[in-house]
Amino acid sequence: MTPTAETPAAATSPEEWLRLDNQICFSLHAASRAFNGVYRVILKDLGLTYPQYLAMLVLWEDGDLPVKRLGERLRLDSGTLSPLLKRLEAAGLVRRERSARDERSVEVRLTEEGTALREQALQVPRRIAAATGCDVDEIRALRSRLDELTHTLDEAALSETPGCAQ
């Protein structure tokens, strides 16, 4: 990414680096909150929250999964994932069952209702794309760049973790 007049690298003084408007993390945070607002409206008809929608996307894509694997895919810890799954289960969309292969593992399975909800959810990505004002190529490019950024930041976090090899 090339430094611009609005990025900390191009700031004229160290004080400029601490301005909220110069923080990429805040721009991403604000965009995420804006997305959540749009998703809240669109997902209301499905009876899902945004995190529940993400969990359902993974289950529609991958089928039955251990809770641990679902958490890894969603980048959620068990303290966040467990209540989310309990609410999906109470809504009749998923079942949680001990694995027959490993009793320590809990599997998440879609119910018939959960599988059927996928049909209604097909309109969600189109509505979100329309809300962004971006065309398909712009969305793909942005998603690709964000995926690269996530990978780079994950690597940076690992290298900054005490005790990790650098």
Whether 19 maps to a domain, the answer reads no
Strand pairing partners for 98?
A: 106
Q: Is the pLDDT of residue 13 over 90?
A: no
Q: Where do runs of H (alpha helix) occur along 7-135?
A: 14-17, 24-43, 50-62, 67-74, 78-90, 112-121, 124-132
What is the reported pLDDT for 69?
Answer: 96
What is the average per-residue pLDDT within 53-79? 96
pLDDT in tens, 24-52: 999 999 999 999 999 999 999 999 999 99
Indicate which CATH number applies to the domain containing 49: 1.10.10.10
Whether 163 maps to a domain, the answer reads no
Number of domains in the chain: 1
d(CA 16, CA 9): 10
Contact (CB, 8 A) for 58 and 121: no
What is the reported pLDDT for 12?
Answer: 73
What is the reported pLDDT for 14?
Answer: 85
Whether 133 maps to a domain, the answer reads no
Whether 164 maps to a domain, the answer reads no
Record the tokens describing residue 93, joined without a space. Answer: 């969309």
Q: Is the pLDDT of residue 155 over 80?
A: yes
Q: Is the pLDDT of residue 4 over 70?
A: no
- For residue 35, give its domain range: 26-122
What is the average per-residue pLDDT within 129-142? 96
Whether 35 maps to a domain, the answer reads yes
The overall average pLDDT reported for the chain is 91
Contact (CB, 8 A) for 3 and 22: no
pLDDT in tens, 67-115: 999 999 999 999 999 999 999 999 999 999 998 888 888 999 999 999 9
What is the reported pLDDT for 11?
Answer: 56
Whether 8 maps to a domain, the answer reads no
Whether 30 maps to a domain, the answer reads yes
Whether 116 maps to a domain, the answer reads yes
